[in-house]
Amino acid sequence: MIQYFKKYKSIYWGLAALLFVHCAAPKSSPEVSLKALPKTYINNTDSTNIAKINWKQYFTDPVLVSLIDTALVNNLDVLIAYQKINASRAQVKYAKGLSAPKVNAAVTVGGEKFGDHTMTGVGNFDTNLSQNITSDQKVPDGVVPEYYLGLQSSWEVDVWGKLRNKRKAATAHYLASVEGKNWVVTNLITEVATTYYELLALDSEIQIIDETIELQQDQLELVIVQKQAGRANELAVNQFQAQLLQSKILRLELSQKIVQSENHLNYLLGRYPQPIAIDTTSFTNDLPTQVQVGIPSQLLSNRPDIKKAELELKASKANVLSAKAAFYPAFSITATLGLNSFNSNYIFSPTSLAYNAFGGLVTPLINQSAIKAQFRTAKAEQVEAMYQYQKHILNGYVEVYNQMVYINNLSQIYDLKDQEVKVLTTSIETASELFLTGRATYLEVIVTRSATLQSKLQLIEIKKKQFTAVVNIYRALGGGWN
């Protein structure tokens, strides 16, 4: 064998050189410059960040905490996210397995009929004429049996890092799936809290409507008495009746909204519609006096969607390197070791021992369109991942910035609306007294009462928006998953 190689070594070296000449890979994709994050939010240099607070400490309402606990266990999106993690973990094990030698146990039984005018057929015929073999060593003239029992092994030596980078990409995808689950948890907590505060607001609005309906009913009865006494007319009675009916319609609309909000909350909790007991007194609780947002660079480590995008970027870079390595020669080793015979009586005989081992380099020379397309795809996906990473960072910063401004404006709006409610509430009493003495018309009473009702409902809506904004900025900063 060695002499044979020496005789034709120039041919072997020439073929090897040809392999390396044709395995030149194209250049990797250029890096996309990422925009730097601002150093502060509106000149805020304090690094204290509410995202570090556990959600059970951030939300103090025990009813809400219980609802979130149930959602984290039963929510279908969270359960799906966990299965994605399991699938990604399996892909990591699969990628690791590609780098290890493959060993298979094989048992084969078969037969083959050779043509009489072939090299194998003639060789078998000549062998049977030999005087040095016994009758049971002769090859059958018809179908030649084949028995094999042994091991078969193959191993691709990862010279260029193709398999190693596949393993890195799989690991990054797995870690990204974990961050994806964390982001699902963050959004779930936000949605449960938002829906809960919406229910509290609707319940508070129902209470105000009920109080209003009761007052309107009393006012209607008073106007009817005044009509009978000749101090009011039928038009006044009709106007008060219409206002009462409108309030009842509004109450029914709010009741429908409560049903829809309850069902949405039940959906988030992974269960079918059922009544939800809420603590309406918690809607009057004070909001946090100060929301501490820290500095923008903390978003990179706090927000799961940004960390997921970063890991997807790492995976795309590893995929590019793996695709690039496909242009280089693949070095593989194959070997077999077992028992091989055409006579079953000798299959377990030491003389049936058979083995081989081969090593070789293989690279595409002519048709490289498939691996070129795969490489271009990997490059495009890497650039896309870079832009996605930048997009998530920009979106996170904008969300925090918007919520900061919104919280500040809502505080001022609430104070002004609260003053308006107090003024209008006083005006109802004034209008009613003037109406009884004949110094105000029934229309003035109706308009004043209607304006007061709308103002009170708007005040509750602003309060709900304040709670929602506090929840949203917690999410925007990346809180809730830890």
pLDDT computed for residue 260 by the predictor:
96
Mean pLDDT of 282-292: 71
Please check whether residue 317 is in contact with residue 32, taking contact to mean a CB–CB distance below 8 angstroms: no
In this structure, which topology does domain 102-157+330-362 adopt according to CATH? Outer membrane efflux proteins (OEP) (2.20.200)
Q: What is the largest CA-CA distance in the chain?
A: 143
**CA of 115: how far to CAs of 128, 129, 137, 460, in Å?**
16, 18, 20, 95
* Sign of CA pseudo-dihedral 307, 311, 312, 317: positive
Start-end of H helices in 437-478: 442-476
Distance in angstroms (rounded) separating the CA atoms of residues 387 and 394: 10
Does an H or E element contain 261, and which? Answer: helix 234-268
Token look-up 């398999």 returns: 163
- The upper half-sphere exposure of residue 153, i.e. CA atoms within 13 Å in the direction of its Cβ, equals 17
The helix/strand/coil state of 161 is coil
pLDDT computed for residue 30 by the predictor:
56
pLDDT computed for residue 284 by the predictor:
73
More confident residue, 404 or 32: 404
What does the mean pLDDT of the chain come to? Answer: 87
Percentage above 70 pLDDT, the chain: 88
pLDDT computed for residue 413 by the predictor:
96
State the span(s) of the chain assigned CATH 2.20.200.10: 102-157+330-362
Mean pLDDT of 27-45: 75
The helix/strand/coil state of 190 is helix
pLDDT over 50 (residue 317): yes
pLDDT computed for residue 21 by the predictor:
47
- Tally of CB atoms within 10 A around 140: 13
Distance in angstroms (rounded) separating the CA atoms of residues 323 and 161: 10
Helices 162-228, 62-74: inter-axial angle, 10-degree rounding = 140
Please check whether residue 409 is in contact with residue 358, taking contact to mean a CB–CB distance below 8 angstroms: no
Q: Two tokens at 176?
A: 């990204």
pLDDT computed for residue 9 by the predictor:
54
Please check whether residue 431 is in contact with residue 445, taking contact to mean a CB–CB distance below 8 angstroms: yes
pLDDT computed for residue 266 by the predictor:
97
pLDDT tens sequence across 384-428: 999 999 999 999 999 999 999 999 999 999 999 999 999 998 988
Token look-up 């910063």 returns: 397
Does an H or E element contain 312, and which? Answer: helix 304-325
pLDDT computed for residue 361 by the predictor:
80
Edge-to-edge order in the sheet of strand 102-113: 102-113, 143-157, 330-341, 353-362
pLDDT computed for residue 1 by the predictor:
45
Distance in angstroms (rounded) separating the CA atoms of residues 305 and 391: 10
Question: Top-level CATH class of 22-100+159-203+263-328+367-476?
Answer: mainly alpha
pLDDT-derived band at 4, boundaries 50, 70, 90: very low
State the span(s) of the chain assigned CATH 1.20.1600.10: 22-100+159-203+263-328+367-476
pLDDT-derived band at 290, boundaries 50, 70, 90: low
**φ, ψ dihedrals at 274, nearest 5°:** -160, 155
pLDDT tens sequence across 120-168: 777 766 666 566 666 666 677 677 888 999 999 999 888 888 899 999 9
pLDDT computed for residue 129 by the predictor:
59
Please check whether residue 278 is in contact with residue 203, taking contact to mean a CB–CB distance below 8 angstroms: yes
pLDDT tens sequence across 175-198: 999 999 999 999 999 999 999 999
Mean pLDDT of 232-243: 89
Most confident of 106-120, 143-157, 259-273: 259-273
pLDDT over 70 (residue 27): no
pLDDT over 50 (residue 276): yes
pLDDT computed for residue 327 by the predictor:
85
Pairing of strands 353-362, 330-341: antiparallel
pLDDT computed for residue 131 by the predictor:
63
Mean pLDDT lowest among 249-253, 268-272, 284-288: 284-288
Distance in angstroms (rounded) separating the CA atoms of residues 378 and 384: 10
**φ, ψ dihedrals at 37, nearest 5°:** -70, 145
pLDDT computed for residue 125 by the predictor:
66
The helix/strand/coil state of 156 is strand
pLDDT computed for residue 407 by the predictor:
93
Please check whether residue 90 is in contact with residue 289, taking contact to mean a CB–CB distance below 8 angstroms: no
Q: Two tokens at 142?
A: 């018809």
pLDDT computed for residue 72 by the predictor:
97
pLDDT over 60 (residue 95): yes
pLDDT computed for residue 136 by the predictor:
67
Helices 76-99, 162-228: inter-axial angle, 10-degree rounding = 180
pLDDT computed for residue 363 by the predictor:
77
Distance in angstroms (rounded) separating the CA atoms of residues 191 and 185: 10
pLDDT tens sequence across 331-390: 899 999 999 988 888 888 888 899 999 888 887 776 678 888 999 999 999 999 999 999
* Residue 418: closest CA among 451, 452, 459, 454: 459
pLDDT computed for residue 250 by the predictor:
96
